Amino acid sequence: MATDKTSTLDDVVAELRDGMTIGIGGWGSRRKPMALVRAIARSDVKDLTVVTYGGADLGLLCATGKVRRAYYGFVSLDSAPFYDPWFAKARTSGSIEAREMDEGMVKCGLEAAAARLPFLPIRAGLGSDVLNFWEGELKTIESPYADADGRTQTLVAMPALKLDAAFVHLDVADAHGNAGYTGVDPYFDDLYLAAAERRYLEVDRLVTTEELVAELPNQRLIVNRMNVDRVVHAPNGAHFTFAGGYGRDEAFQRFYVESAGSDDTWAAFTTRFLDVDEATYQNEVTKWQAEQEEAK
Amino acid sequence: MSTPDSTNTEITRAEYCVTACADIFTGAGEIMASPMAPTPLLGARLARLTTEQDLLITDGEALILADTPAIGKVGPTEGWMPFRKVFDVVASGRRHVVMGANQIDRFGNQNLSAFGPLQHPTRQMFGVRGAPGNTINHPTSYWVARHSSRVFVDDVDIVSGVGFDKVDERNPAFDSLNIHRVVTNLGVFDFNGPGHTMQALSLHPGVTADEVAENTSFPIAGLDNAPVTATPTDEQLRIIREVLDPKGVRNREVK
């Protein structure tokens, strides 16, 4: 019998260290491991380097002062007002170091790390300000093979995005870390896990292995237990982003953005939705949704 | 239900923009058309329903559409295109993207990332997104709904989309760079002016060269001699008005 890896959010937080490089799965405001992000946000950890296709995950970690450096292809809430307010504040105040890159370079860097390669060549980035964002960290590589016309290609040498820890949210998993997605897109979650030393999976539904393989076509089983260290059962854990079983909470996402507008509104948001454990968060979200209905 | 009369109604500026966006894809063949805003989306679908039947289009999420539905609608699908496969398509070169732009300069450098210094911007937008990979790999065009000198600037703050003056001729990795068109509410442009600079291909009816010049920070080649944008055909108007955009989404993006 394979190891039972079911864990609590507290178990995960206990393994966090200052200065870690962490990768966060999902994409923009889509299937983000928000329960884990909230746990990191309310922990004592600091000086994180974050690798992400960014959304409110990066925003919340910026809001709580956790981020020293960010590697990202974009940061988007995917719906109006699109730009994350806390990421924007961190950038315009110069409080984080940006290692901005083309979206395809994020995938490339994770693939290099997953294959234990120091770099992979990629065309994306050439001629753009990406190389200037990286302040000398990003180099080019000349092909040892000339093209047919005798010229030689020089490409971006995308360094491996090696992660100390990866955090992802999937729709359904077993206790051993086998897991799959039920929506239209796997995003890059398997790559984040494969690029990391410690691998944390949160999941909406925890089922037996037999139920998992009976429910999902094989091609949806993108994660196997070799690449998972802890499994956290977190129903609705991707909230307010969407997951396979539920849509994005657009109203709550707008509320998050509006709350960032002043110190008072953010303090209220923090008291109610961040300085609380996950169960309280989910209860308060349910209450908040009822309040919105009543106000209509 | 009555159908709108396609021929007796005055052709709107938005309709000229849609057909100009359709023309972006003329001769594109069997590639993925990736429009990132309503007007170029209508243009890509119009092209697919007229001269470019082999274009691939998606629902903007992860599904390839078999039919060519109205804007905002989905229909039967013919395939799967999750984000990670999009990057495979980008690298393959078999794609033509139409992106937006916060800034564009006369060589086609584009910014959608942020304004101000790289590490301390004055205003944060999306970051570079897929713009560096798009521009270096496959045909790229731009759609600007409000042509102004704040968009068409002497120098972009951050180069997300690569322009022609960045090309290193000795390095074949730049060979696919092709900034094909810029369509705006005022006209149609490309970068075949002297030294790969922006030139006017046509101005929409009612737009003067002076109006374009006043709303552009740099000189545009061929502006004084630019012809008027071609009139949409009756068939194009019928498809736009009755099939692709019966609710008039186009008129909200272009007044």
Q: Is the pLDDT of residue A116 over 50?
A: yes
Per-chain mean pLDDT for chain B: 96
Q: Is the pLDDT of residue A243 over 80?
A: yes
> CB–CB of B249/B72 below 8 Å?
yes
pLDDT tens-digit profile of B34-56?
999 999 999 999 999 999 999 99
Kindly state whether B179 is in contact with chain A, defined as any CB-CB distance less than 8 angstroms.
Answer: no
pLDDT tens-digit profile of A52-85?
999 999 999 999 999 999 999 999 999 999 999 9
Q: Is the pLDDT of residue B5 over 60?
A: no
Kindly state whether B195 is in contact with chain A, defined as any CB-CB distance less than 8 angstroms.
Answer: no
Exposure b/e, B129-150, CB count within 10 A at least 16 = b? bbbbbbbbbbbbbbbbbebeee
Residue-level pLDDT at A296:
87
Residue-level pLDDT at B9:
79
Q: Is the pLDDT of residue B1 over 60?
A: no
Kindly state whether B115 is in contact with chain A, defined as any CB-CB distance less than 8 angstroms.
Answer: no
Residue A38's alpha-carbon distances to A238, A278, A282, B11, in angstroms, are 10, 8, 12, 52
Between CA A95 and CA A23 the distance in angstroms is 20
Q: Is the pLDDT of residue B4 over 80?
A: no
Residue-level pLDDT at B86:
98
Between CA B113 and CA B159 the distance in angstroms is 8
Closest CA–CA distance from residue A287 to any residue of chain B (Å): 31
Closest CA–CA distance from residue A9 to any residue of chain B (Å): 29
Cβ-based contacts of A87 with chain B (< 8 Å): 124
The domain ranges of chain B are 13-249
Residue of B nearest to A107 (CA): B84
Residue-level pLDDT at A181:
98
Second CATH level (architecture) for the domain B13-249: 3-Layer(aba) Sandwich (3.40)
Residue of A nearest to B115 (CA): A92
Residue of B nearest to A97 (CA): B119
pLDDT tens-digit profile of B203-231?
999 999 999 999 999 999 999 999 999 99
Q: Is the pLDDT of residue B66 over 70?
A: yes
Cβ–Cβ pairs < 8 A, chains A and B: 150
B120/A130 touch (CB, cutoff 8 Å), yes or no: no
Q: Is the pLDDT of residue B234 over 80?
A: yes
**Structure pTM?**
0.97
| A27, A105, A152: residue with CB nearest B83 | A27
Between CA B186 and CA A267 the distance in angstroms is 46
Closest CA–CA distance from residue A95 to any residue of chain B (Å): 8
Residue-level pLDDT at B8:
55
A104/B90 touch (CB, cutoff 8 Å), yes or no: yes
Cβ-based contacts of B62 with chain A (< 8 Å): 184-185
Residue of A nearest to B169 (CA): A151
Give the confidence band of B2 by pLDDT, cuts at 50, 70, 90. very low
